[in-house]
Amino acid sequence: MKDLFMVQAIGVIQSPYKEKFAIPRQPNLVTTIESEIHLCGAMNSIDSVRALDEFSHLWVMFYFHQTAARSWQPLVRPPRLGGNKKVGVLASRSTHRPNPIGLSLVECLSIREQAGQVSIKIKGGDFVDGTPVIDIKPYLPYADTADNASVGYAPQPSGLEKTVSFSPQSETVIAKLSTSLPNLKRSIEEVLLQDPRPGYRRGQNEDRLYGVKLYDFNIKFKFTEQCIWVAAIEAE
């Protein structure tokens, strides 16, 4: 059996997530974020996507390009378990894998060809900007779901039951962007309610100010006892 394979990117993802820190740990946990897959090379042909728009959802296989050079271990500490308990890497969704390949289910919004570029607009992805795409397949509900599936240590989404409050400065920025980014406020709320902090800090209230890059902005926030406080939205 061959132990070395050649894989070529068929596209690249243009995403509002500019760094790994802000990305939800699973696809479709943030429902308002839209991204685009720009096909490249021989796949950048409208024939390659003929009839793909007949499917509402797609499987996207991609390459963890930002962590590919890092080593992997047989045991990992999933954030879902607070970063304290170890499980086998194959029992996790860790990006540090023997082969740094990810698989996400996304909603297909539209497909277009413009100025020689074929693009697929998608929603619900968990990709950092610039992620290489390895393959795309249509989602088939009758084949891709399992009614009696069990899910081990992650039976439910791990979103927080907190409110997100915005400073006057943040509300002003959101109002100014209401036409170009109508879902910005809800996107920020959904991202922060996933608690993007390291696993060992999840659930804690602290006075530390964090920042995540989303679209072309730095979202500065902190976790307080009362809420998640968005202190400022600053242009990068």
The per-residue pLDDT for 196 is 82
pTM of the model: 0.87
The per-residue pLDDT for 27 is 86
| CA 59/CA 63 separation, integer angstroms | 13
Tell me the domains of the chain and their CATH numbers. Answer: 11-65+100-144 (2.40.30.70), 164-235 (no CATH)
Closest by CA position to 189, among listed 160, 217, 209: 160
How does strand 57-63 pair with strand 132-138? antiparallel
Show the low-confidence residues of the chain (pLDDT under 70).
1-2, 157-160, 199-200, 203
Q: What is the DSSP letter of 17?
A: B
Strands (E), the chain: 11-14, 34-39, 57-63, 75-76, 87-88, 101-114, 117-123, 132-138, 164-166, 210-214, 217-223, 228-235
Q: For residue range 152-169, what is the model confidence (pLDDT) as tens digits? A: 877 776 666 789 999 999
